[in-house]
Amino acid sequence: MQKYISDSDALLFLGDMSYDLSKENGEKGNDFFEFAMNVTSSIPFQITPGNHETFNDFEDFKKRLIMPNKQYSDNLYYSYDIGNAHFVSLNSEVPFLNYTDDYISNYFEWIKQDLEKSDKKWKIVTIHRPLYCSAVSNHCEKSAYIMKDFFEDIFYNGKVDLVLTGHLHSYERLLPIYNNEIDYNSVIIDTNIYFNPRFPTYVTCGTGGNRDVNHMICKLNFFN
Render 43-89 in DSSP notation, one character per residue. Answer: S-EEE---GGG-HHHHHHHHHH---TTHHHHTTSSEEEEETTEEEEE
Q: Are strands 177-178 and 181-182 parallel, antiparallel or unpaired?
A: antiparallel
Kindly tell me the sign of the dihedral angle through the C-alpha atoms of 175, 130, 220, 120. Answer: positive
Please name which of 163, 168, 166 lies closest in space to residue 138, comparing C-alpha atoms: 168
| pLDDT, greater one: 188 or 136 | 188
Query: What is the SS3 string spanning 178-191?
Result: ECCEECHHHECCCC
The pTM assigned to this predicted structure is: 0.88
Give the chain's mean pLDDT: 86
pLDDT digits (tens, 9 = 90+) for 54-113: 989 998 888 888 889 899 999 999 999 988 999 999 999 999 999 999 999 999 999 999
Q: Residue 182 pLDDT > 80, yes or no?
A: yes
Q: Residue 191 pLDDT > 90, yes or no?
A: no
| pLDDT, greater one: 89 or 36 | 89
Residue 38: in which H helix or E strand, if any? helix 27-40
Return the pLDDT at 222: 52
Query: How far apart (Å, rounded) are the C-alpha atoms in residues 65 and 123?
Result: 24
Please name which of 35, 50, 47, 48 lies closest in space to residue 5, comparing C-alpha atoms: 35
Query: How far apart (Å, rounded) are the C-alpha atoms in residues 3 and 68?
Result: 27
**Residues 199-214: what's their mean pLDDT?**
71
Structural domains present in the chain: 2-220 (3.60.21.10)
